[in-house]
Amino acid sequence: MNGSRLKELRQNKECKISDLSELLGVSVRTYQSYEREERDISTDNLAKLVNYLNVSSDYIIGVSDSKKRFTANEPLSTDVSQLRDSVLQAVVKITSPQSLKLLAEYAEYLACKE
């Protein structure tokens, strides 16, 4: 958990600690321990924060600098399509024909989702 990000998000939304502790069903002290990075948050409570704060869980836990949340219904971006093509080109050089066929089928599936 990235406590400073969690605190920043709370302050940007103009929420009190007591508001978020109530939302999560935890004590104020427990919530404060999340922001101080003294305690791990449950996945259920992380999901509640993601929904309430409208940011990605990766951003809250500090593994990504992108706040954007993605859903299964969103089309793939051009960047993802380009990345897919680049990866496939690289894999062609090191993959067996059978694995390559499976990768091509998956790439086709991804292209259809666009």
SS (H, E, C) 10-60: HHHCCCCHHHHHHHHCCCHHHHHHHHCCCCCCCHHHHHHHHHHHCCCHHHH
Domain-wise residue ranges, the chain: 3-61, 78-113
Q: What is the pTM of this model?
A: 0.61
77 pLDDT more than 60: no
pLDDT at 87 (0 to 100): 67
* 3-61 carries CATH number 1.10.260.40: yes
78 pLDDT more than 60: no
Average pLDDT score over the chain? 81
Instruction: Give the whole-number percent of the chain exceeding pLDDT 70.
Output: 72
pLDDT in tens, 6-28: 999 999 999 999 999 999 999 99
